[in-house]
Amino acid sequence: MIKCLNKYGFSFETINPCEQIQKEMPLWHHPGINRIKRQINNSEIAQCLRKNHAMLMVSEGMDLAQRLDEPSHEKHDSCDCEDCDRDHTLLGCNKPHACVKAVAARLGQILPKWIPVPGEGETPSGDDEPADAGGDSVNFKPPTNIKSLAQGHDYEKR
């Protein structure tokens, strides 16, 4: 599907993806990437993130990037905090801090609409019902919270 969209100059857009969809989007080759920024998909660090850390989804990247805010984490590759030590000994990562910085940079390349913010984008239940379901005509009320990719697709010419 993606190849066909690219071939004919179309792109995938959604109105307001829910937090679950945002978290389950791929970290690498993300459709919501800022194409102006240089991509780090094939660097040595990106390969370590995929191979050793098994970073595939945005949620996994966010979990790893949170390490930068932890007081026990030292901002160099010889950090001996519990998480960096685990990455080094169990996962075989030689530069755990560089991987943490790289995943944070990768998340910074994704457009803000695609980065999950806990609690944001949630709507009260029943809010996506049609405005007038009893008469002959039904007013279309677009959903404010997209719960699946099929529900919120809209193809837009680039």
Domain range summary for the chain, segments of one domain joined by +: 25-116
pLDDT in tens, 10-41: 766 777 888 888 899 999 888 888 777 777 78
Helices marked H in the chain = 2-7, 19-24, 44-51, 58-65, 82-89, 96-109
Residue 131: the pLDDT is 46
Residue 130: the pLDDT is 45
Residue 153: the pLDDT is 52
Distances (CA, A) of 135 to 4, 51, 127, 129, 132: 40, 57, 19, 14, 7
Residue type, 70: E
**d(C-alpha 149, C-alpha 12), whole Å:** 10
Is 93:16 a contact under the CB 8 Å cutoff? no
pLDDT in tens, 43-99: 899 999 999 999 999 999 999 999 999 899 998 888 889 999 999 999 999 999 999
**d(C-alpha 127, C-alpha 110), whole Å:** 29
Tell which residue, 105, 113, 102, has the closest CA to residue 32. Answer: 113
Residue 87: the pLDDT is 92
pLDDT in tens, 115-133: 888 666 554 444 444 444 4
pLDDT in tens, 137-150: 555 455 556 566 56
Q: Is the pLDDT of residue 157 over 80?
A: no
Give the CA dihedral 33, 35, 40, 46, nearest 10 degrees: 20
